[in-house]
Structure 1
Amino acid sequence: METLASIESFVRSAETSSFSAAARLLGLTPAAISKNVATLEGKLGVRLFQRSTRRLTLTEAGEAFLLEVSGGLDTVQAALANASRNRGQPSGTLKVSLAFAFGRQYILPLLTDFIAKYPDIQPDWRFENRQVDLINEGIDVAIGGGIELSPGVVARELARPHMVLVASPAFLADKKMPKVLADVSAWDAIVRRSSNTGRIQPWQLRNKNNEQDMVEPKARVILNDPEAICNAVLMDVGIALVPMPHVRNYLQDGSLIRLLPKWYGDVGPLAIYFSSAKLLPAKTRVFVDFIVEHFRHEDLAKKFSAF
């Protein structure tokens, strides 16, 4: 196992070009990573890195060694993780990245059932509205939309949510219900700033006939979180274009009203992201299956649709 630890330290250092970054991934100190790599170099009798104060650079021997061992290392690590099945249950720390509002509303309520079913797995869930790098940050699973499919990552689609126009009954009290999109362009609106790009997201809409149109909203308030936007609409601040997962409960209880129900916006697929390794760790595999089955059983793909 000492040699395996040295090889893992080398591979992660090569992938990140840094002993410090590798240390963060492996939960060690940079000094321990450097010592492991030096031990490996001593056993092999070759120098694997050219070291400088700024970054690590692979030597020719290091590049050749990396090609030979990196894929095998992932397979061995997955095999070790899956060996826990011989004790009856998958185990280990499961690092999951979740969007704030969506994660709290739809994934966190599943926690009790998941840990009851898999008592040897320790959930380490991070609620964050940002793009994550699963491989370099050591994250097992991410649930969300628009995450870049970097090398080594795959996505399994869960649903294709739509966005709908909504307003509160009090906000509509002195207004006529709109009949066409142009009717709402002069109303105060709550618009969203993308947490990833920093840009105001436009209101691009379509209908069942695949006709497309765009509304230039009169921005009264700018927010960057869909749940905060829903709360602002409930406060009678203005209208908003909000994803169905965040607004469906408010539409069901009547606290918000959908406007122009023939029109909706696309937000792209909602997916669960994980490593593309052939031998997936058991803790990751059972969590992915657990979430996919929950979406199927609750028919969330249909519930997140505008129709």
Structure 2
Amino acid sequence: MDLNAIHILVKVVESRSFTQAAIVLDMTKSTVSRKLADLEQALGVRLITRSTRSLVLTPEGEAFYHSCQQILELLNQAEATVSENQALVKGPLKVVLPVEVGHQVLGEYIHQFLKQYPEVTMNLELTNREVDIIGEGIDLYVQIGELVDSSLVSRHLTSSKRVLVASPEYLKKFGQIRSRKDLSPPHQMIDIENNAARLPKWDFQPESGESFTLDLPCQLKVNTITACLKSCLDSLGVAVLPEFVCREHFKTGRLIHLLPEYAMPEVDVSLVYADRQLMPKRKKLLIEFLLENYHKEQ
């Protein structure tokens, strides 16, 4: 089988375009198309369904594509093994982080890693969308909250403490909140509705007595912590936010920590990736780098 054709198939799928793959491979589009057609002919099966607007892998193409990825990874590892510079770490990584985690928690460590390993290239996406780690070929993802897919590997990074907060202006308008009884209308909440983050409900656990779940009217739902924080600072309601994003606003008095005697369930933040026996060295190093350096500074 033509290994060149395997490499071309992987680039076409990753680029989602014959034109882009041709540019990356420094080939003509017609050559890329012909090589793929020859590969399909040799296999006796269609790998990609082509249209004027998109490329879609057939079920057979999907299975063959993932096998090709592993073949190329084996070849890269074999090359590294016999290379004079076995310590060289190179190749692409696809990393997806929740927006706030990328900006406020792991962004600086990602930058340090890339400076330390200049031969590594990274496609870094900051998003709060729900992702398909295996289907999208994601090397590393950060999960906020519970992991539901048992086929994935999860490495605990940290636990995020959550706090109930409101702005002084909001409390002045709608009334002070000094006890559980005060948590009733006309008070309203700002809720975070995010399919990617699996956040627990607004559960409160006092030092003694029974726990309770807060359920207030909700005028505004948002999908990011940043948007929730901004809305709370703008006095649109009470909110439950990670404690670390509120610290500076507690110091300036722009936010008030409500009912501090009640604890809320902490939210796990984990590094998640597919359980692959042949994990690239660059991916192993990134995972260990993030864990080691983050915990070192806590």
Deviations 1:133-179 (A, max 9, x none): 2222222211132565374x322111232321011233334744422
Contact 1:102 1:246 in 2 (8 A): no
Q: Distance in 2 between matches of 1:52 and 1:148?
A: 32
1:24 corresponds in structure 2 to 16
Tell me which amino acid in the other structure corresponds to 2:185: A
2:122 corresponds in structure 1 to 123
Following superposition, the deviation at residue 196 of structure 1 comes to 1.9
Structural RMSD (CA): 4.1
Tell me which amino acid in the other structure corresponds to 1:24: R
Following superposition, the deviation at residue 258 of structure 1 comes to 1.2
**1:108 maps onto 2:107 in alignment:** yes
Q: Count how many residue pairs are aligned between Structure 1 and Structure 2.
A: 281
1:95 corresponds in structure 2 to 94
1:164 corresponds in structure 2 to 163
Superposed, 1:35-74 pairs within 5 Å as: 35-36=34-35, 39-40=38-39, 47-48=44-45, 56=58, 58=60, 73=71
Tell me which amino acid in the other structure corresponds to 1:76: L
Q: Distance in 2 between matches of 1:225 and 1:172?
A: 23
Tell me which amino acid in the other structure corresponds to 1:95: K
Superposed, 1:1-307 pairs within 5 Å as: 3-7=2-6, 24=16, 28=21, 35-36=34-35, 39-40=38-39, 47-48=44-45, 56=58, 58=60, 73=71, 76=74, 79=77, 86=85, 88-146=87-145, 148-149=148-149, 151=151, 153-173=152-172, 175-180=175-180, 182-196=181-195, 202-207=201-206, 211-266=210-265, 268-299=267-298
Tell me which amino acid in the other structure corresponds to 1:134: I
Contact 1:93 1:123 in 2 (8 A): yes
Percent identical residues: 24
Q: Distance in 2 between matches of 1:33 and 1:283?
A: 28
Contact 1:164 1:244 in 2 (8 A): yes
Counterpart secondary structure, 1:221: strand
Q: Using the TM superposition, name which of 115-124 and 141-150 deviates more.
A: 141-150
Q: Distance in 1 between matches of 2:277 and 2:109?
A: 27
Q: Distance in 1 between matches of 2:289 and 2:35?
A: 37
1:304 corresponds in structure 2 to none
Q: Distance in 2 between matches of 1:177 and 1:140?
A: 45
Tell me which amino acid in the other structure corresponds to 1:149: D
Q: Distance in 2 between matches of 1:237 and 1:85?
A: 62
Q: Distance in 2 between matches of 1:259 and 1:110?
A: 33
Q: Distance in 1 between matches of 2:58 and 2:164?
A: 51
Q: Distance in 1 between matches of 2:137 and 2:44?
A: 27
Following superposition, the deviation at residue 125 of structure 1 comes to 1.0
Unaligned runs of 5+ in 2: 23-28, 51-55
Q: Distance in 2 between matches of 1:210 and 1:79?
A: 58
Contact 1:188 1:219 in 2 (8 A): no
Tell me which amino acid in the other structure corresponds to 1:178: R
Counterpart secondary structure, 2:118: coil
Q: Distance in 1 between matches of 2:169 and 2:125?
A: 36
Unaligned runs of 5+ in 1: 13-18, 300-307
Counterpart secondary structure, 1:86: coil
Contact 2:162 2:266 in 1 (8 A): yes
Contact 1:49 1:57 in 2 (8 A): no
Q: TM-score normalized by structure 2?
A: 0.73
Following superposition, the deviation at residue 240 of structure 1 comes to 0.8
Change (3 A) 1:272 1:85: farther
Deviations 1:245-291 (A, max 9, x none): 43344335543221111324336421111231123212211111121
